[in-house]
Amino acid sequence: MKENTKKQNINHIDYKNIELIKKFINPHGQIMGRNKTGLSAINQRELAQAVKRARFMALLPYISN
């Protein structure tokens, strides 16, 4: 899954972009680590914040069914 955000032309990770966020969540609903995603530390923090916001806004479930 090591896809860099530059390769995917991702400038900003937003909580409203659910399709993008789902790529970085494993089947159990956990956020994948940097070694699996290939993101930089800054982008990984942005991803974590976006996932938490999307969960709070009920766009993503906290756990998978």
> 20 falls in which pLDDT band (50, 70, 90)?
very high
| pLDDT at residue 5, as a whole number | 57
Query: Model confidence over 21-52: pLDDT tens digits?
Result: 999 999 999 999 999 988 889 999 999 999 99
| pLDDT at residue 3, as a whole number | 56
Q: Report the alpha-carbon distance of residue 46 to residue 41 in Å, rounded.
A: 9
Please identify which residue in the block is written with the tokens 């899954």: 1
Return the SS3 of 45.
Answer: helix
Third-level CATH fold of 1-65 = 30s Ribosomal Protein S18 (4.10.640)
| pLDDT at residue 12, as a whole number | 83
Strand (E) or helix (H) holding 37? helix 34-37
Residue spans per domain, the chain = 1-65
Mean pLDDT of the chain: 86
